[in-house]
Amino acid sequence: MKISRWLQRLDAYWKKDVALFFGKRFALVIKMVYPMALIAPVAASDIPAQYAAAVVGIVAIMAGTFGAGESLTADLNDGILLRIALTPISPRRIVFEILAVNAALDFVQLLPALLLVYVLNPAPLVWVLAATVAVFATLLAANCIGVFIANFTSSPADVLLYATAILVPLIYLSGFFRNQNPTGVLATVRDLVPFAYANDALKAVFGEAARATPLEVLVYPTLIAALMALGVCLTAPRLLSPRL
Amino acid sequence: MKNHVTLEASNITRRYKSSGRGVTGVSLAVGRSEIVGLVGPNGSGKSTLLRVLSTAIEPDSGTFRVGGADGVKEKRKVRARLGLMLDRPTHYDDLSGRANAYLFARSYGMDEEKADRALAELFDYFDLTPYADDRVKTYSYGMGKKLALIEAIAHGPELLLLDEPSLGLDYTSQLAYQRKVRQLAAEGVAVLLASNQVDEVETLCDRVVFLHRGRVLSVGTPEELVSSLEGVKRIVATLRNPVDYGPVANVAGVERVAPEGRDLVVHCEDRPNVVADVVAGIVAAGGEIADLAVRRPSLADVYLELTGEALRDED
């Protein structure tokens, strides 16, 4: 079956996002180019590993949070998502599909840039694998934040505002720029932020010693992002009900 | 009521905290193969009631069942039995009409073959086949409405909830839609239709439920309701200028006067010279009459008679 025909056969909700992602060619080019445009110069430069990792991590966080939150509020405002929610599909399944497919599509966007990072900065395979998993967990967690925000506002502009308010402390805690070697409560809280593990893994890929082990990077952010996804899916009935 | 009951709503109350509006103690039933019209002006509670019955919002109190399934406790079962068309069509504009309709058909659990067959037939019926693969953003409002109607009926619902379905449809499409609704009813589908198009309600519906300020005001067949106005004449004067219509109400034999947009609707006794007297009253009030019609009473007149309020708001 040709891809264009496959994209018109929307037999599951998640396929709609895939069809829209690939259906608009100009937008697709922009989506694929901008992570590369931001990450490629960093990957090719010899800036400190800490900052190179921060750029990749922040691109992932922003892509995930703003993408899911804005498109979701737009669909909610338009009423189409509420209409879909009145079909027999479970609201939790709809939200799960939104989360999963958006994280996967964000990952597709980031993958070429990520591969370039790996090519230009050869690292042990275990760290490459850990970084890839952690970046996906970061995207999933960021999408969870975007969907969570959509529970409280119907304005895409507000999503930017609320997301910034939520992300700034999380980025600080993750040690992208400050809080590199936290102790006490800050260290404990950092361990609960999935972005921190992506930061650790990416630092390792860029050649700096990481705080966490590859196994911790593989397991913890995956678990935390899965718990976040579960929590967000539980908000589905509220999220997909009319705002009165 | 024909055969067994498909929709049974009992004492539905849902008030919005912000406005205090909504519905209070609404009970109604729609039988298999029956078309029931829900009629009332803006703010009367039609859309709120449809929201509750579509499971979009929960009632504050009261219960309803669709095909035996509880509307509050068994939402997904109820949703599977519903066909729903909202007043404002909404779609994924960057997808084709066919892709949108297919997504809904599959979401309602239709298999690939059935969905293809049903959609091909409906796109053809509503003359949308040539545009089926165009993006919905290129559709006119009326085409969007027809697509929404296709999405509402393709999966073969037991109960069809339609909110102002013919608004924005051209005349040919309105006839096509009315034929389709009649056909579906003949096949056993129960239809609850919220509309202020009284001509449509009178011709299409087996029974009419009048809603007024969130409560059921009256229920009956269109014939029963209209015949309650026997002996009443309905004069509709289209005015070039707004007037104080108080003096018209003082004309002998005039029972009610209400504005409906640019029209002044006068209900009066069916006595000799009453039309001339009403015209004289309007002219005396300073009204310049652009058009005048003496018509048989309609459901809109029944509503006016019952509530003193016009069905359609003043423009």
Say if B244 falls within a structural domain. Answer: yes
Determine which of A7, A87, A97 to mutate to test the interface with B (most B C-beta atoms within 10 Å): A87
Q: Is the pLDDT of residue B310 over 80?
A: no
Q: Does A23 touch chain B (CB under 8 A)?
A: yes
Q: Write out the residue range of the structural domain in which residue B200 sits.
A: 5-222
As a whole number, mean pLDDT of residues A4-14 equals 76
Claim to verify: residue B97 and residue B137 sit in the same structural domain: yes
> What pLDDT, on the 0 to 100 scale, is given for residue A3?
65
A2-11, A158-167, A217-226, range with the lowest pLDDT: A2-11
A222-236, B38-52, B161-175, B298-312, range with the lowest pLDDT: B298-312
State percent of chain B over pLDDT 70. Answer: 98
Claim to verify: residue B127 and residue B212 sit in the same structural domain: yes
Beta bridge partners of B291: B238
Cβ distance A241 to B57 less than 8 Å, yes or no, reads yes
Cβ distance B80 to A79 less than 8 Å, yes or no, reads no
The CATH number of residue B167's host domain is 3.40.50.300
> What pLDDT, on the 0 to 100 scale, is given for residue B18?
83
Say if B167 falls within a structural domain. Answer: yes
User: What band does B297 get if pLDDT is binned at 50, 70 and 90?
Assistant: confident
Cβ distance B79 to A86 less than 8 Å, yes or no, reads yes
Which pair of structure tokens corresponds to residue B78? 């109820």
- From B178, B195, B222, give the residue that closes a domain: B222
- From B222, B246, B274, give the residue that closes a domain: B222
Claim to verify: residue B213 and residue B242 sit in the same structural domain: no
Total tally of structural domains belonging to chain B: 2
> What pLDDT, on the 0 to 100 scale, is given for residue A77?
87
Claim to verify: residue B129 and residue B245 sit in the same structural domain: no
User: What band does B138 get if pLDDT is binned at 50, 70 and 90?
Assistant: very high
Claim to verify: residue B127 and residue B260 sit in the same structural domain: no
CA distance B297 to B315: 22
Claim to verify: residue B193 and residue B261 sit in the same structural domain: no
Contacts of A86 in chain B (CB under 8 A): 54-56, 79, 82, 84
Q: Is the pLDDT of residue B235 over 50?
A: yes
Smallest CA–CA distance from A237 into chain B, residue = B56
pLDDT, tens only, B198-224: 888 998 999 999 999 999 999 999 989
pLDDT, tens only, A123-163: 999 999 999 999 999 999 999 999 999 998 888 888 888 99
Q: Which residue has the higher pLDDT, A45 or A155?
A: A45
Claim to verify: residue B181 and residue B242 sit in the same structural domain: no
Q: What is the pairing mode between strands B35-39 and B190-194?
A: parallel
Cβ distance A20 to B86 less than 8 Å, yes or no, reads no
User: What band does B314 get if pLDDT is binned at 50, 70 and 90?
Assistant: very low
Among positive and negative, which fits the CA dihedral A88, A92, A94, A96? negative
As a whole number, mean pLDDT of residues B108-137 equals 95
Among chain B, residues having any CB pair with chain A shorter than 8 Å are: 16, 18, 51, 54-57, 76-77, 79-80, 82, 84, 86, 88, 90-92, 94-96, 98-99, 102-104, 106-109, 112, 133
pLDDT, tens only, A71-86: 888 888 888 999 999 9
Say if B18 falls within a structural domain. Answer: yes
Secondary structure class of B108 (helix, strand, coil) = coil
Claim to verify: residue B107 and residue B218 sit in the same structural domain: yes
Neighbours of B56 (CB within 10 A): 21
CA distance A37 to A15: 28
Q: Is the pLDDT of residue A180 over 80?
A: no
Say if B65 falls within a structural domain. Answer: yes
Q: How far is CA A68 from the centre of its chain?
A: 9
> What pLDDT, on the 0 to 100 scale, is given for residue B315?
37
The CATH number of residue B259's host domain is 3.30.70.980
State percent of chain A over pLDDT 90. Answer: 62
Claim to verify: residue B235 and residue B218 sit in the same structural domain: no
Say if B312 falls within a structural domain. Answer: no
CA distance B226 to B203: 12
Secondary structure class of A147 (helix, strand, coil) = helix
Contacts of B57 in chain A (CB under 8 A): 241-242, 244
As a whole number, mean pLDDT of residues B231-238 equals 87
Secondary structure class of B296 (helix, strand, coil) = coil
Q: How many CB pairs under 8 A join A and B?
A: 76
Which pair of structure tokens corresponds to residue B11? 């004492």
Contacts of A16 in chain B (CB under 8 A): 92, 95, 103
Say if B313 falls within a structural domain. Answer: no
- From B187, B203, B222, give the residue that closes a domain: B222
* Domain boundary assignment for chain A: 33-40+48-239
pLDDT, tens only, B80-113: 999 999 878 899 998 999 999 999 999 999 999 9
> What pLDDT, on the 0 to 100 scale, is given for residue B143?
94
A238-to-A184, B64, B96 alpha-carbon distances in Å: 37, 21, 29
Question: Which value does ipTM take for this structure?
Answer: 0.83
User: CB within 8 A of B7, min separation 6: which ones?
Assistant: B28, B29, B30, B53, B64, B65, B66, B159, B190, B192
Closest C-alpha among B253, B246, B293 to residue B273: B253
pLDDT, tens only, B13-64: 999 988 888 999 999 999 999 999 999 988 899 999 999 999 999 999 999 9
Contacts of A241 in chain B (CB under 8 A): 56-57
pLDDT, tens only, B237-275: 999 888 888 888 889 889 888 888 888 989 888 888 889
Q: Is the pLDDT of residue B186 over 90?
A: yes
Q: Is the pLDDT of residue B1 over 70?
A: no
Which of A10, A78, A241 shows the shortest C-beta gap to B103? A10
Claim to verify: residue B167 and residue B199 sit in the same structural domain: yes
Q: Is the pLDDT of residue B231 over 90?
A: no
Cβ distance B94 to A80 less than 8 Å, yes or no, reads no
Exposed/middle/buried for residue A1 (C-beta within 10 Å: 0-12, 13-18, 19+): exposed
